Amino acid sequence: MSISPARRIAYEVLRRVEAQGAYASDELHEALVAKVKPNDAALATELVFGVLRWRRLLDFLLDRHLKKPVEKLDLPVAIALRMGLYQLGFLERIPARAAVHESVELVKMGHKSSAAALVNAVLHKVTSEIHLPAEQFLPEAISHAERLAILQSHPTWMVERWIARWGETPTVALLKANNQKPRLSLALQDPARRDEVFREFEKAGMRIESGLLLNDAFAVSGGSPTHTEAFRSGLISIQDEASQTVPLLLDVKTGDRVLDLCAAPGGKTPTLARLAGKTGRTVAADRYAHRLGAMRAQFERIKLQNVEIVELDAEKPLPFRQPFDRILVDAPCSGTGTLARHPEIRWRLKSDQLPEFHALQIRILANAIQLLAPKGRLLYSTCSWEREENENVIEEILERDKSVRPVPSSDLLEALQPHLAASMDARTLFNPSGNFATSPALHTDGFFAAAIEKI
């Protein structure tokens, strides 16, 4: 029996994610070209994200039958075992024989034929117990946080800090949301052509769902939007609704000078440029040339022309002579608000990195403020859940720099209101501190945003 295209693709993507620090979504986008059959693309995607989301629980169940932990095994062996167990335990339509046999073949493909017997034996052992509750195999002595972390497949340190901050019930809801497949949300680049886009998707057999947050957003399932003419011609972009919402908080007006300081991959810039109009000036800046190249290609696809692209290091004084009316600082961050969409983050991030992100964000934000025009508005945003990267950053900046003050949440809500979906309760988009904050348990990705203005 040869290895199916779906499993071969999933194996290679997982290998690059683990060995090269790649992101699964980027690797899948490259691998799932038009010639890949839809069924193979769907299975490959399910395997990659399923294995990454449930990696800790999978390893816990596998470790019971191994002499050394899965993490200590050669990478091809570890990936084959995880893929095999995920199919056995989470995918009902996959025959056990196929899951085991192809996992053995994957080990051979990875030049680890000596481990083929091990993979075969371990997967046959777990087959007999895979449908038993995993909780019954947990040691009695472990803490409650670790128990949750294993069963919901998250790092223990992350679960501990979330329980300490919010309590158990909200934490469990967040953990479960992080293990769900997120909605595939799309942004309309030309809302006037919505009906044309919808007709194409429906003709292709895709299902369309209305936006949860925004009236111009929508979600699809049952196919790949990137293989449509609507995508190729630039009518749509793939973008989470929370990400689509963030630039609207800046309340850009026609003629404004706008700076998108950490712009790549460029998802928020089009909204800013459209609102500023041809009489405004929109600058999209980022540090790395290759990211700017990808952003330029994205702008060409959607036919966005009135944007200047600048390569710069935002940690250093910014090379602009004139101030900006609006500045978006979508800062580099840990990404803990996107663990459903980017599950590999949960295994890479360490708690001691959060102070490093905080220091970086402070440096970038301090530089951006220097270019803010009087009465101008700056929006600071992250896709993180952590106070170190969110509230603590804003509080420190406001304490250090008395030339700025917070923008009331009522002003942010006023800017958002015309864009919100009719069913959206806008109050759920703001936390008790008055900052914009979405949750995977309630909305889509977890984003934070706070606005300040120059006095």
Token pair for residue 159? Answer: 């679960």
Cα distance between residue 161 and residue 68, in whole Å: 29
Closest C-alpha among 356, 355, 361, 267 to residue 314:
361
Two structure tokens written together for 242: 């929370």
Alpha-carbon span 302 to 249, nearest angstrom: 22
Distances (CA, A) of 396 to 3, 135, 359, 399, 401: 55, 43, 11, 5, 9
Cα–Cα distances in Å, from 8 out to 41, 50, 59, 85, 260?
11, 15, 21, 16, 39
Element spanning 29, H or E? helix 24-31
Cβ neighbours of 199 (radius 10 Å): 11
Among the listed residues 106, 383, 393, 412, the single catalytic one is 383
Name the amino acid, one letter, at 350.
Answer: K
Q: Check if the beta carbon of residue 197 is closer than 8 Å to that of residue 217.
A: no
Residue 104: what are its φ and ψ, rounded to 5°? Answer: -60, -45
262 catalytic? Reply is no
If we measure between CA atoms, which residue out of 3, 210, 38 comes closest to residue 110? 3
Which residues are known to be catalytic? 383
